[in-house]
Structure 1
């Protein structure tokens, strides 16, 4: 149950964004408010929200999509990003990329416009949120908010104060608890506020993810211990985040194994570049797999391996110099640093410079 202020804020947001009774309904089980796909599109159109979509990771039985939502308010651009995922466990349909895109788009729009922080979800978030599965659920007009303060009673006429009782008073009742819920008692509220805990299905999914060989034993132990303390929303976010992590680590491992296995054919410079990408978490899983695809095409003589950009070539050469400063000596180190900064240099020259430097260093390393 939401507080009076939260429910009033939600009502005002719905009114400001032109949402009607057919756009908003309540999930029977959790009590969360749901906005349908048509309602999400109304919000986007009314506020001129620009959406960017990027496939973060994908496989045969899953997809993770990153969406960015942006709008301009008083000449200031506001932008948020969110992930959406779909797999055999959380989607009844098998077109996972499309479903993940819908969820990511819905989340980003609701975050940008202030709905998400009120506990409001998009219809695509779960199959159980569909309007067809919540027929007869309360509408906004049917629901009253939890009171934010107890009503103040009028002052009574003064009466004589009786002597203090010698009977010990009972201690205050502790916060109520039920399985799957936490019911904290707030002194400013007339009743406990339910916070829904992790569901059995969410717990099962998280434990399955943690069984992956891509998760370290330390990570597995710490994460397993935290599962039961998560709220339902935190568990949803954790599942999405974990899918992204697993997808990235799988792609990183694939590229790493490819680079090491084909180092003689790829050459030291290209192998070093690929291995560096495997450690760069700013590179998406999709981009890592694309690098492997390009490498395979190159080895099969189906394409020419592209040169890195000039900026990447500069960074690669400078990074090599910094990593091997002691072995190179001050003179060679300074020369490579200056070469990486030369305004007249091009990417091809810098790549060759890196290859030559690595070759010169090889006997020293041996």
Structure 2
């Protein structure tokens, strides 16, 4: 698709992405840093979210802009990661100034990856604050890794290894829209027992294998669920360069969250904490706000769905016995490698 460039979140000018990955822990952090504070909002569709500072993003709250968004594994322990990102931002002089003190804003969402077999015996304090700092310091423009990295390191789904994915597009009006998703769902991104993705109708080129859709069979609608309490959540961020208000960004998050439901079945379950942030870097004005926001939301739905599928396509199994097989292990075994 014209204008996709890298087909990543970094196709949006004015932001950087960084990962911190701990293979032994089986977890990690992804930090998205904005070069200038960005208007932001959030939609929370899951029944068991874990978040930090998302109340600031409500449309009835005063503050409109944030310096970063943080995605992390670790369940509620992972909420320490935002502190590490804040530390890096404060060192760089970022944040709102209150009485001579800089206070960077870095809202966060977490996913549950505590039961994936990694070494979670970290002692008194969790490692996530340091991982957050490392992710912020690693943040860069240009290409970044997908799959079993950053917040997607320890992610799983009902059927295959989860991971981190990203995708981008351009609307007819020339606005860029891109998403980054860490996929750790209760449900499945796959149709039946084959290699087909629920997101297949939105695929651009062969970005997640080009397998298309199978001939429909009613049993494909039978729910397949990950076992265990609190073992899920898909989290992410959709960004546009269109200039949006906080209310408009909330609508973008709501429409973008529909992409999650088009890529995972079921989505937004009682034990999912599905959370989607939306942000605007604000470099391109809207000339017809209603029509163009509708187009932006339509694009957001698609890039979120594509990013979910790309997360699975690029994921690799964790390197210990009993780890959940990755898509590549099951359907392209000759290419399978450990992360």
**Higher RCO (Cα < 8 Å, 6 or more apart):** 2
Computing the radius of gyration over CA atoms, which structure comes out larger, 1 or 2? 1
Tell me if TM exceeds 0.5: no
TM-score, with structure 1 as normaliser: 0.23
TM-score, with structure 2 as normaliser: 0.24
Q: Which has the higher helix share?
A: 1
